[in-house]
Amino acid sequence: MIVYNTLHKKKEELVPIKEGKVGMYSCGPTVYNYAHIGNLRTYVFMDLLRRGLAHEGYKVKSVMNITDVGHLTSDADSGEDKMAKASREQQKTPYEIAAYYTGIFFRDIEALNIMRPNLTPKATDHIKEMIDFVQGLERGGYGYETSDGIYFDIEKFPAYGKLSDLKLDDQKAGARVEVNDEKHHPADFALWKKAPKEHIMQWESPWGMGYPGWHIECSAMSLKYLGEHFDIHTGGVDHIPVHHENEIAQSEALLGKPAVNYWMHGEFMMVDGGKMSKSLGNTYTVSDLKDKGYDPLAFRYLCLNSHYRNKLNFTWDAMDGAQVSYKRLLEAALAHKKAPAEDDDAIAPALEDFFGAISDDLNAPKALGFMWVLAKNPHKSKKIYDALVSMDSILALDIAKCEEKLAVDEILPPEVEELAAKRSAARAARDWAESDRLRDLISQMGYNVLDTKDGTKVTRK
């Protein structure tokens, strides 16, 4: 497979560290709120990569963190912890907030056929690993203590900025008035923060009570689950200049060598030409899509129809277009499914073109085009349907369910959806009594609830 490596700013052939195996780490959600469809676009990209690798025959180990502490309202070191802020505003403990939004997140990715990563470790379960990491950096002379935390000394790591071509001196010159004059360099970042008494999340550490910096979470958890050297690290492009530079600095400083071979980044989803982000209040969620009557997989179709390295401007018109095209694709597949299984010369080249496009840096829009050409083949054949289903191992648009999907309205009414989301949160919090109560309510409304290893499925009885 050819992939675009942000580190070298070019496409490269993927050569895994261990033959036949790929370890990949993806920066996961900060669970203080609903994931918006821009966030989810980045996870569709993660999923596409994982499926593409699996199709090439690699055994993939996919790890994605759940950030439930330490991510401040600015990606750098200013502002309040997002979890603490949500906890204050919603009058719940940070753990309740995290359990609730993690439950919804898993439901959302399931609705988009995003396979759940093999491991989804939570930051709060790895405080010890993070403390060990920070101590290691201190021992190596990369960390220093100030009155409010332990900071990474960027000037001790000359390669700082290699992912985004940042020049440290430019940063110094361009830095805003620095609020923390104990820092050696304005771009030094917190590894560990000392907690004021009233801070809601804090742990014992060699530096007194405190909580981890956001960047250390990913370095510590990727080290624990994928080892000192792994193949691929993914995230959204906004992570390139701060979060991933900082991860690189921490991991390389501790290990004395690069931890990651390929850095891959998904471009942003925009809204009306501007950035979609929670702080700007212009975000939509999977529930918003469902409430408006869209199939979540029509949103997946929309994502696949543009390359992961291009910006995608979200509009409701584009969403309408995706929904219509998606339905037509299912109809085209169904016509083949019902036809006799006859050979067709179009099948072999279509499969080759399709998987060739995926192997070339995940060119999903091109692959989707090849799928369409085959789907529209005038000769209808069950063998064409089988080929479409095989392509769908990558695109995951539920082609194999075309008949059921076209027959029934799969969209759940909002009341049922809300109860199902509450039930997921109750299950995440291991509140089985509440979960059973909600199951009964959903059942009384005429829906079955099925808990599978991939999550909960709610279907009309």
By the rule CB under 6 A, 70 interacts with ligand AMP = no
By the 8 A CB rule, do 239 and 147 touch? no
What sign for the dihedral angle of Cα 192, 71, 455, 90? Answer: positive
Alpha helices in 307-410 (DSSP H): 316-337, 347-359, 364-375, 382-395, 402-407
Specify the stretch interacting with ligand AMP by CB under 6 A; choose among 26-34, 116-124, 158-166, 185-193: 26-34
Residue by residue, DSSP assigns 98-112 as: HHHHHHHHHHHHHHT
What pairs with residue 63 in β-bridges? 25, 119
Site for Zn ion in 7-66 (CB under 5 A): 27
CB 9 within 8 Å of CB 18: no
Binding partner selected for residue 16 from Zn ion, ligand AMP, none, CB under the kind-specific 5 to 8 Å limit: none
User: DSSP character for 238?
Assistant: G
Length of the chain: 461
Question: Which of these segments, 156-164, 245-253, 262-270, 296-304, binds ligand AMP (CB under 6 A)?
Answer: 262-270
| C-alpha–C-alpha distance, residues 410 and 170, integer Å | 54
How far apart CA 379 and CA 343 sit, in angstroms, is 10
Of 242 and 375, nearer to Zn ion (C-beta) is 242
d(Cα 459, Cα 401) in Å, to the nearest integer? Answer: 14
Nearest Cα residue to 77 out of 218, 186, 210:
186
* Residue 73 vs 448, nearer CB to Zn ion: 73
109 touches 427 (CB < 8 A): no
**Which 263-282 residues touch ligand AMP, going by CB under 6 A?**
266, 268-269, 275-277
Query: If binding is defined by CB under 6 A, does position 202 make contact with ligand AMP?
Result: no
Q: Which of 235, 332, 346, 387 binds ligand AMP (CB under 6 A)?
A: 235
> What one-letter code names the amino acid at 191?
L
Comparison of 42 and 381: residue with beta carbon closer to ligand AMP = 42
* Minimum CB distance to ligand AMP smaller for 41 or for 85: 41
Q: Judged by CB under 6 A, which of 1, 27, 289, 438 binds ligand AMP?
A: 27
**Part in contact with ligand AMP (CB under 6 A); list of ranges 1-9, 236-244, 383-391, 404-412:** 236-244
The two tokens of residue 357 are 């496009």
Least distance to Zn ion from the beta carbon of 123, Å? 10
Residue 16 within binding range of ligand AMP, rule CB under 6 A: no
Is residue 29 within the footprint of ligand AMP (CB under 6 A)? Answer: yes
- Closer residue to ligand AMP (CB): 269 or 368: 269
Q: Which is nearer to Zn ion, 157 or 385 (CB)?
A: 157
Nearest to 243 by CA among 440, 436, 77, 429: 77
| Interface residue with ligand AMP, options 23, 38, 213, 296 (CB under 6 A) | 38
* Min CB(29)–ligand AMP separation in Å: 4
CB atoms within 10 A of CB 205: 21
Of 166 and 445, the one with the shorter C-beta distance to Zn ion is 166
For ligand AMP, the closer of residues 49 and 350 by Cβ is: 49
From ligand AMP, Zn ion, none, interface partner of 218 (C-beta below 5 to 8 A by class): Zn ion
* CA–CA gap between residue 341 and residue 337 (Å, rounded): 9
Between vectors from CA 203 to CA 197 and to CA 208, what angle results, nearest 5°? 65
- Of the pair 269, 350, the CB lying nearest ligand AMP is at 269
Nearest approach, Cβ of residue 113 and ligand AMP (Å): 18
CA distances from 240 to 142, 165, 245 (A): 21, 10, 6
The residue count for binding ligand AMP (CB under 6 A) is 17
Q: Is residue 218 a contact residue for Zn ion (CB under 5 A)?
A: yes
Per the listing, tokens 């390295």 go with 309
For binding to ligand AMP (CB under 6 A), which residues are involved?
27, 29-30, 38-39, 41-42, 235-236, 238-239, 266, 268-269, 275-277
For binding to Zn ion (CB under 5 A), which residues are involved?
27, 218
